[in-house]
Amino acid sequence: MLLKDFPSSFRFSVSCTTRKKRENERDGIDYYFLNKEDFELKLKQNFFLEHDNYANNLYGTLKSEYDKAEMENKICLFEMNINGVKQLKECNYVSNGIYIFVKPPNTDILLSRLKKRNTENPEQINKRMYELNRELDEANNIDFNMFLVNDDLTKTYEQLKEYLMQSYQHLRSGSGSR
């Protein structure tokens, strides 16, 4: 939604993963789908800003994704877990980051969403729920700029948009890129 409302201001960072592509996902749009060997080679070559093993799959954000946003004079949007946030804050590659933690209204609702999606088996869902609970506990120990509860998408988006418009004045003025 941010990309539609502010197309000249934001660029979404596409993450890499070793997990299997789901139906309707597109390589290079939703994720860069890599095999484990390619992922580990990029890791060894120091291509990642951050990386993690989540639910037995590797995930990571390439430095080149941030570099593209910088070259376009856009704000780079990252989607990552708690470990990724900690690594990103420590790496000093990204300056002036704003860190926002989005959490579900409660874990039962998220569990229901995961089951309805029908893309993971019960063991995978249990691992994801375990990771979620760990992240919810750990989030309180990280210096996030904002916490959002995703109970109503429209309301949550409006809260996010207002916060970003206060943080980045050019969004309020409609001037486009930073």
Q: Three-class SS string for 92-113?
A: CCCCCCCCEEEECCCHHHHHHH
Catalytic (active site) residue 22: yes
Cα separation, 112 vs 170, whole angstroms: 39
Q: Which residues of 42-62 are buried (b: 16+ CB within 10 A; e: fewer)?
A: beeeebbbbbbebbeebbbbb
Residue in 26, 113, 117, 172 annotated catalytic: 117
The residues carrying an active-site annotation are 22, 117, 128
